[in-house]
């Protein structure tokens, strides 16, 4: 009669009699071959030639699992670091292959079934009691659960590493696309392959304001503020860098109405500016315009809106593309108004703008301004005295009109 097994601490294999573990150890080579054969027969993903690294890995995994099980039967305190590492690597391999864990879990079930069939035959030959057989059954299936849990850990670790690596490749790709002068197309295509991104012909950059600091101001760098970016993008083809000092996105093709709704929901109220849809090599220019639009929105030049489209403000972006130069133009063209009082200056410019833009009669301009025609005639004579012959020069009139537009935009 075989002695009964001694109970083991929770989570470990019970300690079984030496005679039983010796008998089971003798079964290991045959059990390993049978398990491998059954796995390759039942699971197409594993039906590969056994010569080479794949076959060695499969044999090592099955052999390590079986040997460690018997070692634990003899001594529950047996170290399991080697087995744990093998199981985690099996899970990692599934992740790297792009598969779910279904096949590996099925392989573990097959291993448990084959092992139990052989244990039952061994029990009959050695007249094992029902108590010992019950403990063996519990040990086998609990052990397989442990192996599956270890592989799940490896699978999740690999997915996390793969996801982090993929995000880093995508951030590098985004930086490469926005390089000036533009990077070679081949370099972008090669990096896009690593990032899992299909290179489009046209793109639309989107500039975002950095996330807010706890006190309400906006942090220049989300990482420096100790915060995670608060943008969640459901569209996986959108490249993003949300942790840089100037967060931004890159949308393949145009930003359709559907895309814009996605962006508005993703930014959750954070100011954003949608650049122009441009060929890929011009992405850096479009991003620069989007950042300019974002800045003009924050300063009040553009209408307050959560998401601003550059295409709705092209003339404004052009006029204010160099604010220092724009200010210089205003001073040069309208500097002679400085001798007027602020009230006179306001009246003159209010009338001069419509007159330059429409070249209408005093009556027509009076209707636009909702004043008396005689008032308009007086103002026209006033700026004729101020600007003189320049009003007869088309180039000078155009410069005056631009200067007035810039002044109106910057003095909102």
**pTM here?**
0.57
pLDDT at residue 218 in the model? 42
pLDDT at residue 350 in the model? 83
Phi then psi for 278, rounded to 5 degrees?
A: -135, 165
The owner of tokens 């508005």 is 264
Question: Going residue by residue through the chain (412 aa), what tens digit of pLDDT does each one get?
Answer: 344 454 444 334 556 778 888 889 999 999 999 999 999 999 888 887 777 777 788 888 899 999 999 999 888 888 999 999 999 999 988 887 778 889 899 999 999 999 999 999 998 988 888 888 888 889 898 999 999 999 999 988 887 777 777 888 899 999 999 999 999 999 999 889 878 899 999 999 999 998 765 444 444 444 433 334 456 666 689 999 988 899 999 999 999 998 888 888 887 778 999 999 999 999 999 999 999 999 998 888 887 778 899 999 998 999 898 888 888 888 888 887 777 788 877 777 888 888 888 877 888 888 888 888 888 888 888 878 888 888 888 888 888 888 888 887 876 5
Angle (CA) 185-187-190 rounded to 5° is: 110
| 284 and 176 Cβ atoms separated by less than 8 Å | no
| Secondary structure of residue 309 in the 3-state scheme | strand
- Could you tell me the sign of the dihedral formed by the alpha carbons of 117, 120, 126, 128, in that order? positive
Separation between Cα atoms, residue 222 and residue 231, nearest integer Å: 12
Distance of CA 42 to the CA centre of its chain: 38
pLDDT at residue 281 in the model? 95
pLDDT at residue 409 in the model? 82
Beta-bridge mates of residue 307 = 272
pLDDT at residue 223 in the model? 40
pLDDT at residue 234 in the model? 61
- Residue 122: enclosing H or E segment and its boundaries? helix 102-125
The owner of tokens 């059990």 is 31
| Rg over CA atoms, the chain | 38
End-to-end, the C-alpha distance of the chain in Å comes to 99
β-pairing, 248-252 with 239-241? antiparallel
Q: Residue 198 is encoded by which pair of tokens?
A: 């299909």
Q: Which of 227, 30, 178 is nearest to 188 (CA)?
A: 178
Q: Residue 181 is encoded by which pair of tokens?
A: 């002068």
């Amino acid at each position: 009669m075989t002695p009964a097994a001694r109970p083991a601490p929770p989570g470990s294999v019970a300690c079984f009699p030496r005679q039983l573990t010796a008998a089971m150890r003798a079964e290991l080579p045959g059990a390993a071959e049978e398990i491998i054969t059954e796995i390759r027969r039942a699971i197409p993903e594993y039906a590969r030639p056994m010569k080479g690294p794949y076959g060695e890995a499969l044999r090592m995994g099955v052999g390590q699992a079986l040997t460690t099980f018997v070692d634990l039967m003899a001594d529950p305190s047996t170290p399991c670091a080697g087995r744990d590492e093998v199981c985690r690597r099996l899970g990692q391999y599934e992740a790297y292959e792009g598969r779910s864990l279904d096949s590996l879990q099925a392989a573990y079930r097959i291993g448990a079934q084959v092992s139990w069939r052989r244990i039952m035959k061994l029990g009959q030959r050695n007249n094992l009691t029902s108590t010992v057989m019950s403990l063996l059954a519990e040990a086998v299936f609990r052990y397989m659960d442990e192996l599956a849990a270890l592989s799940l850990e490896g699978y999740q670790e690999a997915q996390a590493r793969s996801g982090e690596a993929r995000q880093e490749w995508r951030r590098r790709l985004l930086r490469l696309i926005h390089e000036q002068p533009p990077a070679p197309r081949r370099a972008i295509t090669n990096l896009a392959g690593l990032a899992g991104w299909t290179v489009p012909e046209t793109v639309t950059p989107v500039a975002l304001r950095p996330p807010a600091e706890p006190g309400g101001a906006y942090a220049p760098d989300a990482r420096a503020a100790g915060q995670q970016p608060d943008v969640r993008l459901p569209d996986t083809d959108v490249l993003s860098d949300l942790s840089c000092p100037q967060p931004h996105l890159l949308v393949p093709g145009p930003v359709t109405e559907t895309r814009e709704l996605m962006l508005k929901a993703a930014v959750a109220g954070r100011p954003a500016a949608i650049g122009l849809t441009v060929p890929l090599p011009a992405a850096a220019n479009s991003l620069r315009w989007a950042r300019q639009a974002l800045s003009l929105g924050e300063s009040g030049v553009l209408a307050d809106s959560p998401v601003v489209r550059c295409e709705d403000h092209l003339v404004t972006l052009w006029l204010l593309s160099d604010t220092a130069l724009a200010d210089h133009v205003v001073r040069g063209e309208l500097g002679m108004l400085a001798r007027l009082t602020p009230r006179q200056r306001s009246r003159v410019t209010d009338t001069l703008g419509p007159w330059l833009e429409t070249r209408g009669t005093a009556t027509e301009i009076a209707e636009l301004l909702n004043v008396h025609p005689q008032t308009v005639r007086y103002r026209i004579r006033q700026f004729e005295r101020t600007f003189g012959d320049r009003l007869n020069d088309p180039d000078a009139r155009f410069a005056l009109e631009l200067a007035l537009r810039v002044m109106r935009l910057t003095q909102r």
